[in-house]
């Protein structure tokens, strides 16, 4: 059954804030662990966030899954991408074989990968790809709206459905991935619309294009905004007019993950734009988002600032696909291990009275 707009609004109301009592309990528990106050930095912050998400001081993230939304974008006919459109289908299949950049890392680190077709245009044969195809790619956004509003809601609904499915199957942490030639163009158009930023300032090279193609890409994004006139105050309007099925699907996964009390990891540029869309739809949902790496794509910094997240890795990556997620999963697992396995001062036989004044001065 497809999600309606009323269904979506009802669902949004069911997303609850973090368990702040659990967060405070985790913070107090950390003060008893045998280490100088705050000495594990971001790992401690993540552990507190995890407590708020799960409601438990001690959490596990042993069962991990990256959900990859695959879709084609009509705007590629304008020459804004370096790769042919057929690569979307080819790489989607390769992901199921654990042969792409993201999937080889995921396999090495014990992460499940779920590849979902929400709008691949070219034909392929692969039973391992989950068929949720809305249609054969979006329209060319420089000429008309990418999709209808109903199609956008359907894509978001698919993401929500997959988050619920993951929860039911015992997944403890989710990652967001995408595959779709031309999707840095659509992502930038969405970001420009949401933040009222000029394309010249944040348009990047995506998979790698020439100076001439970059100049054209900026022009195409500008034209898309002029043709469609997306309403910055209506995320569904923005996504349906200048977005893509993959971005809308990821947006739904972020919303669904939050509703299911699952930590959900942001990958790179396309993913962080989808996360921003989710936050604009439900501000509470962002409490469940965990950043991974700083994408080298030009617009990432603006999107991350708007979202209010600080990535804890900077590896000069710009692949996408969800490639930052398995790396972030390891960091989150380390944060959980601190709470689960680290000795307290009492357990380590250490008198921690020497830290009393330090704790007072530093607010611990």
What are the catalytic residues? 321
Q: Are 157 and 247 in contact (CB under 8 A)?
A: no
d(CA 358, CA 33): 15
- Cα angle 71, 76, 80 (rounded to 5 degrees) comes to 125
d(CA 164, CA 187): 25
d(CA 85, CA 75): 10
Q: Are 155 and 118 in contact (CB under 8 A)?
A: yes
- Strand segments, DSSP code E, in the chain are 64-71, 112-119, 130-131, 173-179, 264-265, 289-290
Q: Are 81 and 206 in contact (CB under 8 A)?
A: yes
Neighbours of 172 (CB within 10 A): 21
- In the numeric block, the tokens 């680190």 are attached to 109
CA torsion 115→118→122→128, rounded to 10°?
30
Measured between its terminal Cα atoms, the distance across the chain in Å is 50
């Amino acid at each position: 059954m497809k999600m309606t707009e009323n269904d979506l609004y009802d669902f949004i109301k069911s997303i609850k804030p973090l368990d702040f009592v659990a967060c405070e309990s985790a913070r107090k528990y950390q003060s008893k662990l045998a280490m100088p106050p705050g000495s594990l930095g971001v790992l401690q912050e993540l552990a507190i966030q995890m407590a708020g998400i799960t409601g438990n001081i001690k959490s596990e993230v042993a069962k991990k899954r990256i959900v990859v939304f695959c879709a084609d974008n009509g705007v590629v006919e304008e020459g804004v991408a370096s790769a042919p459109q057929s690569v979307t289908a080819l790489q989607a299949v390769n992901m199921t074989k654990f042969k792409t950049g993201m999937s080889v890392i995921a396999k090495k680190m014990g992460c499940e990968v779920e590849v979902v077709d929400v709008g691949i245009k070219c034909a392929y044969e692969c039973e391992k790809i989950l068929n949720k195809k809305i249609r054969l790619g979006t329209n060319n956004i420089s000429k008309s709206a990418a999709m209808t509003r109903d199609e956008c809601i359907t894509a978001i609904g698919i993401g929500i459905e997959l988050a619920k499915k993951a929860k039911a199957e015992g997944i403890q942490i989710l990652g967001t991935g995408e595959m779709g030639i031309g999707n840095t163009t659509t992502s930038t158009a969405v970001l420009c619309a949401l933040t009222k930023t000029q394309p010249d300032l944040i348009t990047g090279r995506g998979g790698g294009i020439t100076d001439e193609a970059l100049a054209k890409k900026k022009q195409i994004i500008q034209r898309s905004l002029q043709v469609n006139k997306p309403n910055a105050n209506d995320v569904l309007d923005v996504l349906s007019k200048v977005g893509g099925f993959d971005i809308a699907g990821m947006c739904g996964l972020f919303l669904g993950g939050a509703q299911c009390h699952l930590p959900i990891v942001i990958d790179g540029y396309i993913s962080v734009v989808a996360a921003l869309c989710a936050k604009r739809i439900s501000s509470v949902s962002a409490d469940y988002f965990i950043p991974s790496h700083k994408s080298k794509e030009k617009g990432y910094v603006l999107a991350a600032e708007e979202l209010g997240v600080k990535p804890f890795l900077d590896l000069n990556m710009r692949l996408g696909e969800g490639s930052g997620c398995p790396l972030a999963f390891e960091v989150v697992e380390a944060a959980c291990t601190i709470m689960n396995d680290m000795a307290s001062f009492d357990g380590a036989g250490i008198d921690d009275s020497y830290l009393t004044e330090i704790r007072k001065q530093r607010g611990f």
